[in-house]
Amino acid sequence: MRGQVDAFTYDALPARIVMGAGKRKDVAAEVERLGCKCPLIVTTHEQAALGDDIARQFDVGSTTLFAAAAMHTPWDVTQRALEAAQSARADCVIAIGGGSSIGLSKAIALRTKLPQIVLPTTYAGSEVTPIIGETRDGQKHTQRTLEVLPEVVIYDIEFTLTLPVSLSVASGLNAIAHGVEALYAADANPVTSMMAEDGIAALAESLPNIVQSPDSIEARRLAQYGAWLCGTCLGTVGMGLHHKICHVLGGTFNLAHAQTHAVMIPHVVAYNAHAASDAMLRIARALNARHAWTGLHELAVKLDAPRSLETLGMPESGIERAVELTMQNFYSNPRAPDADALLHMLRQAWRGVPPEPME
C-alpha cells in the first residue's frame, strides 16, 4: 500500500509526441495537420543530408534548408536564420538534430510565433521543454516560456542509429541529469518524480548496451524512451545548480554541452547529497548503486565518458570566473550557494577526480 500523497501541482505541457521506427515519414502529414505548407528546415551543417531527405516529402520549392545551427544558440546564427525564414515566407519550422538545431528552432519560434516540428537525433531532451538558452557577448542566458515549446515531436529510433557511441554516451548522461535534478526540484511532484526515476533507470540500462552494440534497436529504443521521460521532467519542473553551472561553463568557455553535463552531474549530486536525502535514495535505486554520486561516477567510468573539465578544454584559470557567474541569479537548489564549496567542486571536476559529498 502506498502512503498518503501530499498536495502537489502538476502542469502537463501541450505537446504531441509521436514515437516509433520510421515515423520520420509522417513529417509532411504533421505539417499539414498544423495547417502549414512552407517549412523552414533547420539542421547543423553535418546533418544537412537529413534535412534534404525530409524535404523530399514536400513539393519542390516549398521548403528551405538552413544548415548552420551551432552549439549554445549564438545570436548571430539566429539572426541569419530569421532572415532565411522571412525570405522563404516560412509558415513553420522543422528541426532535425540535437540541442543545436532544436535551440535554433526555438529561437526562431520565440520571435516569429511559427509552430515547430522536431525530430531529435540525440538524447538531449530539449525538444519537450519550454526552455531556451541563447548566447550573446560570451554569456548564455536562459528563459522559460511556452512560446518555444515545439508543437510536435517525432521520435524515430532509426535517426539515432548513426549517433556515434561517444555522443550517445554524453547525450544520455545529459538526459540523466535532467531526471536527477527533477527529483530534488523545489516544485517536484509525484508524477515527475515517477517519470524521472524510470527515465534514469532506462538510460542506465540502455547506455552500456549501446556501447556494446551500437546498432541495437532495442537499446536505442529504451534510451530514447528514457530521454523523453527525463526531458519531460526538465520541461515541467525547475532545475537547480547543475543546469545553472553547465550553462555558465558552456556559454563562457564554449564547452561541448552534453559532455559538460556528463562531467558535472556526479559532482553536483555530491554537492547536494546531504540536502536531498530522498532524491539521493531514488537516484541510487534507479542506478542500482549504493550512493547516487558514486553510481553516477561508476556509470561514467563504465561508459568511458568524459570525466574532467580539463579534457573538454576549460582553462584552470577560468574556475573562479565560473563560480562568480554561477553565484549570480542562483537557481533554486536544495543546498544554498556557497562560493568556497563551489570552488572546491569545480576544481575536483576540472581534475576529473571522483566526487565526494561536502558538508
**Half-sphere exposure in the Cβ direction for 79 (13 Å, CA):** 5
| Same fold across 16-160 and 165-351 | no
Q: Roughly what angle, to the nearest 10 degrees, separates helices 292-303 and 277-287?
A: 30
pTM, two decimal places: 0.90
Question: Using 50, 70 and 90 to split pLDDT, how confident is the model at 1?
Answer: very low
pLDDT digit string, tens, across residues 132-179: 999 998 888 889 899 999 999 999 999 999 899 999 999 999 999 999
Q: Which residue has the cell 552494440?
A: 213
| Average of per-residue pLDDT values in the chain | 94
Q: List b or e across 201-221, with b for residues whose CB sees 16 or more CB atoms inside 10 angstroms.
A: bbbbbbbbebbeebeeeebbb
Q: Alpha-carbon distance 265 to 305, whole Å?
A: 12
Phi, psi of 165, rounded to the nearest 5 degrees: -55, -45
Question: Where along the chain do its domains lie?
Answer: 16-160, 165-351
Architecture of the domain spanning 16-160: 3-Layer(aba) Sandwich (3.40)
Strand partners, 134: 141
Torsion of the alpha carbons at 148, 13, 96 and 51, rounded to the nearest 10: -80
Q: Is 309 helix (H, G, I), strand (E, B) or coil?
A: coil
pLDDT digit string, tens, across residues 38-63: 999 999 999 999 999 999 999 999 99
pLDDT digit string, tens, across residues 214-249: 999 999 999 999 999 999 998 999 889 999 999 899
Q: What is the DSSP letter of 46?
A: G
pLDDT digit string, tens, across residues 281-310: 999 999 999 999 999 999 999 999 999 999
- Residues 43, 50 contacting (CB under 8 angstroms): yes
Strand partners, 211: none
Q: At residue 3, does pLDDT exceed 60?
A: no
Architecture of the domain spanning 165-351: Up-down Bundle (1.20)
